[in-house]
């Protein structure tokens, strides 16, 4: 009998869907390919022997198969995860064969993933959370950006897309340093590849551009040291916004030495060189803000000593932070830096709300760092997937509202796909659900791109096409000690005013979203969300003027915010959200904006009220007397208040 076969076994969901289970529990097993209605048995391997589990219970019609041979067998069985199986397909006395063996994988509930269906047709790169609740997404390597605005109920799945201003003509980077600044602007520095530089060549530009969301415009900023010397290349550089709001950038030391860093003052847009005592390399590395306001670096050099360093923003210098217990780098370099120094990729270093840091490596190893004690310990290993080793090198991670971490992983050392998703629950790293759909193999380059949303969800793109998905984690209530606390905010608000808000932990206790090295998109800054009591409709105010980016527990800070013109008038609730962690609501009332006459009357009333609070005292100096009138009157120097 002529037959066309695909030697594989596919595992499908059945009626009962159990998320993240450790056993198979009634899965439907099918042998792909066209077999016609012959005999078939599903077999399991026990030791070196094969045993029939169950005969085929049915045959599925396959439309693309020849009409003379359009069927494939299927069976429903409860087989433990990790078991080795195959199909035995045969016609008694005529012919028989066995499919290639396969390993039973866990079945997952894919319903917590939803694909956005209104996405412009671009291959997406980095995604940034703006302080007005919009998402900026880059059309990879083109210099073109789009904004995703959530709908009137705060739903990003049903949001709308709008193209914003294009980057300066010569700056079309892929893989770069990036951040949101305290005034709400976005900085893009360098670019491992630049479409306008040497035909898109490697590490060939040191351009810096800043986007102003209010003006919808980009500004070119001179690189550190005017681009001279070791700042001739920035490339795919590490960066971090320090607790004081200063942006720190590493140079591209692929070609030059020394490895240095520079600080950008976001107000003056001037650079200062920093980072004395640095022993490592910036190449393929990351900078992570810690709860003590310092910055952690994990060495990417090969061969590895596991060394790590701490940057102190007060002294501007680096010191040793000890070594990781296990090697996080690959054993073989993936690239070479200055003077042939071997370099490995590195995974994200994730600060969790409990203050601990999980450093993900380019190997299956991870390490835990406690910034309060300065001690390292071994973390859990990345699991195999279908017998293949996985790691988080150059991949993404987002802290979820329950304190767990959603991560992507790929196949080391080149970070090839298909990528898969994993959950760190504080103890172990386990594989979890992923989006369903066709062409899953393209979900690969470096795990795509992830971003934590103010809703507590996670936005993810494939980095290979225009598909974007949202992951909704299981419902949970965050630990009350992890959320922002509002201590002062006006309760009567209108669209024509700029308001101040004060509180503790307004930036959250984590930077939220993490990347292995370049394309940083942290979210440790406060968003102001206002929900109308009557309609449930949601609006985000634009926040700016952040006094701090610290993620220290109980850290006090202030911000300014301005309400959008399309907000609904009436009783509402106001929350501060940082990295998906929301404060308790504050009851506010949104009023119509004041007219010019009302503003004048309000000012005059305030002047009169202030005048009523003034008092007059008499001050004496010998025979001299003076009267002083003020809210808090004080006698001039040499005078005493008359009793």
If you write DSSP's letter for every residue of 185-242 in order, what string do you get?
-EEEE--SEETTSTTT-BT----EEEEETTTTEEEEEPPGGGG-GGGS--SS--EEE-
Task: Return the HEC string of 134-159.
Answer: CEEEEECCCCEEEEEECCCCCCCCCC
- What are the Cα distances from residue 358, in Å, to 346, 418, 538? 12, 23, 34
The rounded distance, in Å, linking the Cα atoms of 460 and 469 is: 5
**Per-residue model confidence (pLDDT) at position 120:** 96
What letter would DSSP give residue 525? S
Ranges of each domain in the chain: 5-103, 480-590, 596-641
Specify which residues 127 forms β-bridges with: 137
The rounded distance, in Å, linking the Cα atoms of 367 and 424 is: 13
| Spatial CB neighbours of 499, under 8 Å, sequence gap ≥ 6 | 489, 490, 493, 560, 561, 562
Q: If the chain, 643 residues long, is cut into consecutive pieces of 10 residues, what is the mean pLDDT of each piece?
A: 28 31 64 86 94 92 82 89 91 86 81 92 95 96 96 97 95 92 96 70 75 97 90 89 97 71 95 94 92 97 94 98 95 83 91 98 96 97 87 94 96 81 96 73 68 98 90 94 98 93 99 88 98 98 98 98 94 99 98 81 81 87 91 90 88
| Spatial CB neighbours of 319, under 8 Å, sequence gap ≥ 6 | 277, 309, 310, 312
What letter would DSSP give residue 391? B
Q: Give residue-wise pLDDT tens across range 13-68.
A: 222 233 333 444 678 888 878 888 889 999 999 999 999 999 999 998 887 788 88
pTM for the whole structure: 0.82
Q: Which CATH class is domain 480-590?
A: mainly beta
| Nearest one of 330, 340, 341 to 414, comparing CA atoms | 330
**Per-residue model confidence (pLDDT) at position 1:** 29
**Per-residue model confidence (pLDDT) at position 7:** 26
5-103: in CATH 2.60.40: yes
| Identical topology for domains 5-103 and 480-590 | yes
Q: Which helix or strand (DSSP H or E) is residue 306 part of?
A: none
The rounded distance, in Å, linking the Cα atoms of 216 and 209 is: 13
Q: How many CB atoms lie within 10 A of CB 397?
A: 27
């Amino acid at each position: 009998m002529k037959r066309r076969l695909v030697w594989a076994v596919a595992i499908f969901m059945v009626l009962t869907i159990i998320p993240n289970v450790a056993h198979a529990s009634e899965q439907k097993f099918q042998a792909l390919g066209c077999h016609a209605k012959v005999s078939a048995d599903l077999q399991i391997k026990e030791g070196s022997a094969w045993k029939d589990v169950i005969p085929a219970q049915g045959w599925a019609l396959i439309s693309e198969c020849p009409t003379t041979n359009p069927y494939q067998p299927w069976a429903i069985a409860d087989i433990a995860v990790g078991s080795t199986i195959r199909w035995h397909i045969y016609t008694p006395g005529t012919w028989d064969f066995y499919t290639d063996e396969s390993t039973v994988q866990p079945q997952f509930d894919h319903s917590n993933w939803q694909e956005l269906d209104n996405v412009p047709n671009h291959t997406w790169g980095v995604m940034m959370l703006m302080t007005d609740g919009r998402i900026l997404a880059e059309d990879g390597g083109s210099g073109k950006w789009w904004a995703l605005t959530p709908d009137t109920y705060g739903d990003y799945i049903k949001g709308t897309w709008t193209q914003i201003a294009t980057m300066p003509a010569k700056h079309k980077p892929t893989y770069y340093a990036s951040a949101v600044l305290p005034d709400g602007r976005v900085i893009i520095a360098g670019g491992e590849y630049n479409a306008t530089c040497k035909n898109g060549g490697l590490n060939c530009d040191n351009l810096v551009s800043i986007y102003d969301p209010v003006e919808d415009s980009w500004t070119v900023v001179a690189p550190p040291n005017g681009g001279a010397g070791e700042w001739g290349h920035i490339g795919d550089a590490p960066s971090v916004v320090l607790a004081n709001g200063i942006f720190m950038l590493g140079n591209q030391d692929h070609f030059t030495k020394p490895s240095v860093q520079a600080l950008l003052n976001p107000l003056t847009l001037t650079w200062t060189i920093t980072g004395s005592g640095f022993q490592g390399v910036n190449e393929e590395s990351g900078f992570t803000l810690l709860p003590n306001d310092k910055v952690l670096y994990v060495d990417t050099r090969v061969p590895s000593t596991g060394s790590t360093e701490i940057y102190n923003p007060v002294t501007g210098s680096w010191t040793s932070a000890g070594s990781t217990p296990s090697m996080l780098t690959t054993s073989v370099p993936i690239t070479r830096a200055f003077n042939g120094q071997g370099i490995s990729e590195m995974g994200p270093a994730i600060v969790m709300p409990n203050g601990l840091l999980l450093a993900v490596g380019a190997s299956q190893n991870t390490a835990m760092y406690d910034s309060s004690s300065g001690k390292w310990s071994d973390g859990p290993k990345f699991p195999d997937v279908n017998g293949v080793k996985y790691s988080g090198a150059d991949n993404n991670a987002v802290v979820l509202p329950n304190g767990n971490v959603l991560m992507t992983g790929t196949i080391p050392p080149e970070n090839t796909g298909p990528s898969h998703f994993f959950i760190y629950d504080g103890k172990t790293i386990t594989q979890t659900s992923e989006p369903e759909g066709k062409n899953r193999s393209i979900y690969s380059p470096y795990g795509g791109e992830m971003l934590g949303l103010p809703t507590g969800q996670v936005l993810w793109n494939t980095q290979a096409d225009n598909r974007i998905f949202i992951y909704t984690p299981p419902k949970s209530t965050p630990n009350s000690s992890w959320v922002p606390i509002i201590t002062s905010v006006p309760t009567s608000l209108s669209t024509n005013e700029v308001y101040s808000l004060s509180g503790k932990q307004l930036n959250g206790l984590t930077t939220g979203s993490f990347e292995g090295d370049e394309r940083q998109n942290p979210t440790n800054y406060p968003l102001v969300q206002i929900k109308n009591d009557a309609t449930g409709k949601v609006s985000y105010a634009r926040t700016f003027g952040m006094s701090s980016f610290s993620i220290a527990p109980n850290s006090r800070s202030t911000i300014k915010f301005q309400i959008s013109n399309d907000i609904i008038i009436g009783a509402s609730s106001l929350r501060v959200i940082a990295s998906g962690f929301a404060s308790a609501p504050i009851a506010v009332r949104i009023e119509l904006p004041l007219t010019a006459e009302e503003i004048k009357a309000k000012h005059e009333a305030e002047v009169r009220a202030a005048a009523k609070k003034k008092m007059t005292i008499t001050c004496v100096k010998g025979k001299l007397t003076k009267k002083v009138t003020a809210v808090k009157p004080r006698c001039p120097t040499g005078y005493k208040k008359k009793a």
